[in-house]
Amino acid sequence: MVNKPTKESIIEILNNVPLDDTTLEQVHNIIKIDPIHVGLMSEHLQKLEFSEHATLARSLCERDHRGVVATLIRRTIEEKNLPRQKKFDLASLCQSKGIAVSIDLLKYILHFVPTSTVPVGKGEALIRILMKGTPIETGDLGASGKKFEVKFNKSRIRGMHGFDLTNASQVAVALDEYFIYECDKLKFDARPLIGNEPNRWNFVSGKRKKFYLLSEIVRQSGMDPKYACSIFVNAYSLYYSQMKRSEHLNLSLSLAEEFNSDGTLKEEYGYSNFIYKMCAFSLKYYATVEGFDGMIILNSELECMYITKEFIFETSLEELSSFIKENLKVAPPSLTPLAGTQGSSFGISL
């Protein structure tokens, strides 16, 4: 029978061990961690379906300098606790709900990417732990009886459903073909204007002071903006493979409102309302085909925003466009060959 170690016996053993810097660090790492806490956290993470629950539990306890990591087990942030459609500080929300872990620990979890058979983004592990969620096929995780998408920094609004695997450059080629054909009917040769630059159809930022190609085609050919926008949306429908006829019509008409009578865009440079309306449609479409209940957007400084599906669906395209313009940063699509299948989608961040 092995006797249970006592304080004195442990000290006696340590006195007979040459304690260099490496050994001291090893001993410190052993004695500073409560194995009971590690075990409880490991069991808790396993219930949240983390395959690497034991390793993650030890990492969390090693970084727990105040002995409060257990609040991650005891306390939960519910969906009803999340402020809606406005920015909030996630660390402050945690503190208000009794989750007393440090900001450094929260940031460590934020950047932890779980092992998974499907792509998992940064931030998902943090939200899963804070909301006691589990991964699901539709959406990133399930918690509080709802399905959530989690977006970290410049995440693309593109899911696994309802988006054709069309390469981004194929949308550009379709735009070439559609507009050359329609301009020929108007006795206007659009070929020299369109050219063959890889980024010819990209939305251009204000820094380069370049007119949008669509605007120039409308202005120089005299094409009706409503018809031009319909052609434009036709090309994008290669990407939005489940776009409905009513969605096509509403988007085309809304985009056409951004043109002046001379065919130029009302905001001809930079991030115009034209772009924000396209982004707003992308968000509505994304929410529809993915079927999530809410989207949680966060950044590396633990700033956060929760956008509900009700707000996305019940808000008009124009109002949603204004909301995005006021609250989010937008990364427009890139229709160049190097952009791949993700290139046609918008990116959003706080």
The pLDDT value recorded for residue 121 is 78
pLDDT along the chain (350 residues), means of 10: 63 70 59 73 91 89 79 93 97 94 92 72 91 82 92 84 79 95 97 91 64 88 96 92 94 95 81 91 94 94 97 97 95 86 85
Q: What is the DSSP string of 306-342?
A: EEEHHHHHHS-HHHHHHHHHHH-EEE----SGGGGGG
Answer whether 125's CB lies under 8 Å from 113's CB: yes
Strand extents, DSSP E, the chain? 87-89, 141-143, 146-152, 155-156, 294-298, 303-308, 329-331, 347-349
pTM for the model stands at 0.85
The pLDDT value recorded for residue 3 is 60
The pLDDT value recorded for residue 154 is 83
Answer whether 19's CB lies under 8 Å from 27's CB: yes
The pLDDT value recorded for residue 119 is 60
The pLDDT value recorded for residue 283 is 96
The pLDDT value recorded for residue 1 is 47
Helix (H), strand (E) counts: the chain: 16, 8
The pLDDT value recorded for residue 8 is 72
Residue in 247, 250, 277 with CA at minimum distance from that of residue 265: 277
Would you list the domain boundaries of the chain?
13-152, 168-349
